[in-house]
Amino acid sequence: MRILPGFITAITLASSAVLWAADVAADVAAETVNPEADRQAFVSFYKNRFPDIDIQAHKDGAYALDPAKRAQWQAMEDFPPYEIAVDEGRELFSVAFTNGKTYADCFARQGIGIKQEFPHFDMDQNTVVTLELAINQCRVANNEAELDYDSDEMGVITAYMAFTSRGNHFDIKVPAAGLAAYESGKQFYYERRGKLDFSCSGCHMQATGNMLRAEILSASVGHATHWPTYRFKWEKVGGLHKRFIECNEQVGAVALPQQSEAYRNLEYFLTYMSNGMELNGPASRK
Ligand code: HEC
C-alpha cells in the first residue's frame, strides 16, 4: 500500500508525541489503572477535535466526518448490503444442533439484544470473551465443531445478533480481575508497530479527520459499534478483528489471528472506550 510521504512524516511526528503521552500514561497507569478516567479523556479528545460533531455520530465512522461521503453512503444504505446476511443469520440461529439445543440456550435472553454486553471479562476462564468466541464456545458445549472466524456462517449469525441489539448502548465493565486484559489492549492501541512504525492512535487520534489516500481516518470512539460490517472490498460481512488485521497489515506489521488474546484485549479496550455509544450493527463500509 502506498501512502503519501508527506502524510507519513506528519503522522510519524504526531505519533511520537502520542507515544510519549502513552509512556507517561503507562507510568501513571502502573499505579492506578482507571478505565473510566481513560474513557472520559478519550471522549474529550474527540470532542475537542470535532467540536461540531456530536460524539454519538462517530458510530458511522468516517461518514460522520464528510457530508459528501455520508450522502453517498446513505444512498447505498437504502438497499442495505447486509440485509441478506441478517436474514440468513436469523434462520441459522434457530436451527437446532444435533442434540436438539440451539444458540438461544447458550445466551442470556435467548441471545436477543445482548451484543452490548460483549466483550466481557470472564472470571472463570480468566480471559476476555467476545461474541464470536462465545458462539464457538456454545457450539463446542453442544458437541458441534467450531466455526472458522472468517466463515460466512459466523458472519451471518453475528450480523443477526447485532441487528437484534440495535439501539442498545454499550455498558462494558472492567472488574479488578479484568484490569490486566484492559491494560494490554490499551497498550496495543498506543504502541507503534510495523515497517511504517504507526500506532492505532497515530492514525485514528492524531490524524483522525485527515485523508489517507482516498479515505478519511475515522475516530476510534465509534470503532466498536457496528460489527460485523459488510465491506464491498470483502464482498461479505466480517468482524472487527478482520479489520484489525487489515489495519495492522497496512503499516507492514504482522497481523494476528482473529480472536487471538491480543485482539480480544484490544477489542475490550476499544469497546470500553465506546461505552454509552449506541450499537448500530451490522453496517456497511467501502
Ligand atoms: C496507517 C493508518 C492506520 C493505522 C496505523 C490504523 N488504521 Fe485503522 N483504519 C485506517 C483506514 C485508512 C481506515 C478506513 C477509513 C476509516 O474508517 O477510518 C481504517 C479503519 C479502521 C476501522 C473501521 C472503522 C469503521 O468505521 O468501520 C477500525 C475499527 C480501525 N481502523 C481500527 C484500528 C486499530 C485498532 C488500529 C491499531 C491496531 C488501527 N486501526 C490502525 C488506517 C489506519
* 247 ligand 1 Cβ < 6 A: yes
Asked whether the predicted pLDDT for residue 28 surpasses 80, the reply is no
Instruction: Judge if the beta carbon of residue 244 lies within 6 A of ligand 1.
Output: yes
Cα end-to-end span (Å), the chain: 17
Do residues 204 and 215 make contact, with C-beta atoms less than 8 angstroms apart? no
E strands, 5-91, where?
Answer: none
Average pLDDT of the chain, as a whole number: 91
pLDDT at residue 76 in the model: 87
Tell me the three state secondary structure of residue 99: coil
pLDDT at 178: 98
Question: How much distance in Å is there from the Cα of 94 to the middle of ligand 1?
Answer: 34
Q: Is residue 229 pLDDT above 60, yes or no?
A: yes
Q: How remote is the CA of residue 91 from the centroid of ligand 1, in Å?
A: 32
Confidence check: pLDDT of 161 > 60: yes
pLDDT given at position 56: 98
62 close to ligand 1 (CB < 6 Angstrom): yes
> How far is Cα 227 from Cα 47, in angstroms, rounded to an integer?
23
pLDDT of residue 75: 92
What are the structural domains of the chain? 5-80+175-285 (1.10.760.10), 83-163 (1.10.760.10)
Beta bridge partners of 211: 216
* Distance from residue 133's CA to the centre of ligand 1 (Å): 22
Kindly state if the Cβ of 271 falls inside 6 Å of ligand 1: no
The catalytic residues are 247
pTM here is 0.91
Residues 235 and 222: beta-carbon distance below 8 Å: no
User: Are the beta carbons of 177 and 121 closer than 8 angstroms?
Assistant: yes
Mutate which of 247, 268, 270, 271 for ligand 1 pocket (most atoms within 8 A of beta carbon): 247
Confidence of residue 171 (pLDDT cuts 50, 70, 90): very high
Residue 4 confidence (pLDDT) above 50: no
Query: What is the distance in A from the centroid of ligand 1 to the CA of 254?
Result: 15
Q: Cis (ω within 30 of 0) for the bond into 80?
A: no
Contact criterion met (CB below 8 Å) for 66 and 216: yes
- The verdict on the CB of residue 217 being under 6 Å from ligand 1 is yes
CA-proximal residue: ligand 1, atom 28 (nearest): 223
Q: How much of the chain exceeds pLDDT 70, in percent? A: 89
Cell numbers for 278, please give them. Answer: 449506541
Pairing of strands 120-122, 127-129: antiparallel
215, containing H or E segment: strand 215-216
Of 77-81, 119-123, 127-131, 242-246, give the lowest mean pLDDT range: 77-81
Spatial contact of 116 and 274, defined as CB atoms under 8 Å apart: no
